[in-house]
Amino acid sequence: MKYLSLIFCLIVVLLFSCNEVNPKGEKEVRNFVKQWSDAHTQIKAPYLERYYMDVVTYYGKERTRSQVQQDKNLLFQQFPDYTERILNDQFDITKEAVSYLVKFIKRVNYNGIEADYTFYLSVMTKNRDFKILREDVDKNLKEFDARIFPINLGSNATTSNNRKLYGDFNGDGLSDFASVSNPQIISVIKPDVQNSDEVHCTGGCN
């Protein structure tokens, strides 16, 4: 009888432990999400796509990580002073099959506005690295119409013909940007014509 009671207790412990996040995994997820949030600066923002899976559920829509990167670039184009931080470094982490659902409150500052929003990330491992599978915000909030969210930035798969590259180009420690415009091609390559690989652009192609 004593052994049966012991076995029963072990089974109960195992059943409950299966639903808990591994402490080590939870710590790694926290560090990953914090690094992702800290990377939302003008200097680091151009490299945010490395935190995402190839295809992401991004504010309710399926996006490639390149399209997510375009949204992040557009955010800093419209609000160069944008900053964010996770409030009190508090996370609510739930294990969901092969991924972690992370809920947290993010405090954002932009254009003289300060606001707190509840965010969600779904994170999973790929090649031993954490990647974001989903990024979303609590849509029940009245402030969901804020201009910093993708739906209000007006971004889509073809964000803009004029893009900006961010970085410290002159070594002064400050963030700079360069505008990049796609050339307008005015001649078509004809594969059946010899020496047809010459292309002409409006205003030049260089």
Phi, psi dihedrals of residue 139, rounded to the nearest 5°: -75, -5
Tell whether the model's pLDDT for residue 117 goes beyond 80: yes
**Is the distance from CB of 81 to CB of 113 less than 8 angstroms?**
no
**Is the distance from CB of 48 to CB of 71 less than 8 angstroms?**
no
Inter-CA distances, 84 with 8, 98, 129, 197, Å:
48, 28, 23, 48
User: Which residue matches tokens 């849509």?
Assistant: 139
Inter-CA distances, 102 with 29, 92, 133, 151, Å:
8, 6, 11, 22
Tell whether the model's pLDDT for residue 205 goes beyond 70: no
Q: Given CA atoms 11, 15, 20, 24 in this order, what sign does their dihedral have? A: positive
Q: Which residue has the higher pLDDT, 6 or 139?
A: 139
Full-model pTM: 0.64
- Return left, alpha or beta for 112; rule: phi > 0 is left, psi -120 to 50 is alpha, else beta: left
- Measure the CA–CA gap between 137 and 135, rounded to whole angstroms: 7
User: Which residue matches tokens 């808990």?
Assistant: 20
pLDDT bucket at 171, cuts 50 / 70 / 90: confident
Q: What is the pLDDT of residues 24-81, one digit of tens each?
A: 588 999 999 999 999 999 899 999 999 999 999 999 999 999 999 999 999 999 999 9
Tell whether the model's pLDDT for residue 204 goes beyond 80: no
The mean of the pLDDT values for the chain is 77
How is domain 17-160 classified at the CATH fold level? Nuclear Transport Factor 2; Chain: A, (3.10.450)
**Is the distance from CB of 46 to CB of 168 less than 8 angstroms?**
no
Rg of the Cα trace of the chain? 23
DSSP secondary structure code for residue 176 in this structure = E
pLDDT (mean) for 106-129: 94
Q: What's the pLDDT at 178?
A: 64
Lowest mean pLDDT among 23-37, 62-76, 114-128, 162-176: 162-176
pLDDT bucket at 139, cuts 50 / 70 / 90: confident
- Measure the CA–CA gap between 86 and 102, rounded to whole angstroms: 12
% of the chain surpassing 90 pLDDT: 51
CA of residue 22 relative to chain centroid, distance: 24
Q: Which residue has the higher pLDDT, 12 or 32?
A: 32
**Residue 95 one-letter amino acid:** K
Residue ranges matching CATH 3.10.450.50 in the chain: 17-160
